[in-house]
């Protein structure tokens, strides 16, 4: 005979008052004679529950796909050689996040670190200021975007284990991971624009010279970053909405039949 484990539900007299969400979670397992520490039936008892007449698993798939798109946008932004531009022809140049892909002359294809070191050593104050600024902004942005990608990857793994009916983390840890992805991305964008002072108004007709530093204009990379800054919080809200409702969703008939309390 297979043992059935029913988690203990706190009594009303217990000094610890459960949140509505926690009560929904415990009541779900109690009603279905399940142990919350053990994975549910792998055939998808949990994921076949209907949410607004759509199987819950498809909501998770949708969120997973949007997270993946955000990752693609971030990687595209990091990789594009078009982050900044400055000057008019024949002195116009364009650069990426940490590399000057279309600088003219000896600095063409050089990283900002090499350019700033050379310019500062040779007392080229204008070039020194411009490329040192871009270097600091680029490194800080890259660090926070890598953190954002890391948290997005963890977020995807959380959705995967949810689909398998495995509940491994406290809710507050899940909330922290999701929020951290958004905050890291926000810091990356804010730091880059704050340090560079770049704008989209195409008012960068003067290129920096040996003596003077001129402002730079933002191009493709920052646009992609702003798109992610719009989509990530929307994804967060969407995820929180589904995540907080998942214990109150009534299973379909097939799902109810599968939840007989038999643990594997």
Indicate the domain borders of the chain.
38-81+140-205+213-258
**With a cut of 50, which residues of the chain have pLDDT below it?**
1-18, 28-29, 31-44, 250, 253-264
Q: Give per-residue pLDDT as tens, 157-202.
A: 998 888 777 766 788 899 999 999 999 999 999 999 999 999 998 7
Give dist(CA 235, CA 64) in Å, integer. 9
Give dist(CA 19, CA 149) in Å, integer. 32
Q: The whole model's pTM is what?
A: 0.74
Write the CB contacts of 217 (distance below 8 Å, at least 6 apart in sequence).
Answer: 84, 85, 86, 198, 199, 200, 201, 202, 203, 204
On the CB side of 120, CA atoms within 13 Å amount to 13
Reading the block at residue 33, the tokens are 């004679």
Write the CB contacts of 96 (distance below 8 Å, at least 6 apart in sequence).
Answer: 80, 81, 82, 83, 221
Alpha helical stretches, state H, the chain:
20-31, 56-79, 112-121, 125-163, 171-196, 220-245, 253-258
Reading the block at residue 132, the tokens are 């040192």
pLDDT score of 26: 55
């Amino acid at each position: 005979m297979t043992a059935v484990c029913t988690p203990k539900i706190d009594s009303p007299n217990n000094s610890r008052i459960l949140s509505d969400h926690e009560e929904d979670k415990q009541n779900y397992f109690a009603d279905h004679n399940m142990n919350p520490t053990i994975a549910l039936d792998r055939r998808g008892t949990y994921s076949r529950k209907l949410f607004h007449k759509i199987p819950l698993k498809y909501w998770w798939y949708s969120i997973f796909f949007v997270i993946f798109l955000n990752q693609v946008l971030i990687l595209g932004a990091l990789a594009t050689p078009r982050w900044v531009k400055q000057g008019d022809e024949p002195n116009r140049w364009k650069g990426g996040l940490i590399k000057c892909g279309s600088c003219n002359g000896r600095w063409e294809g050089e990283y900002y670190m090499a350019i700033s070191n050379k310019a500062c050593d040779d007392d080229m104050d204008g070039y020194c200021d411009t490329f040192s600024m871009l270097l600091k902004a680029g490194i800080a942005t890259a660090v926070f975007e890598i953190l954002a990608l890391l948290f997005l990857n963890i977020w995807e793994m959380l959705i995967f284990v949810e689909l398998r009916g495995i509940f491994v983390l406290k809710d507050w840890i899940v909330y922290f991971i999701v929020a951290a992805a958004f905050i890291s991305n926000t810091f990356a964008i804010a730091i880059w624009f704050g340090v560079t002072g770049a704008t989209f108004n195409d008012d960068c007709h003067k290129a920096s010279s040996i003596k003077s530093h001129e402002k730079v204009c933002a191009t493709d990379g920052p646009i992609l970053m702003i798109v992610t800054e719009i989509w990530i919080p929307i994804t967060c809200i969407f995820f929180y909405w589904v995540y907080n409702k998942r214990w109150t969703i009534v299973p379909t008939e097939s799902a109810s039949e599968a939840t007989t309390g038999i643990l594997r």
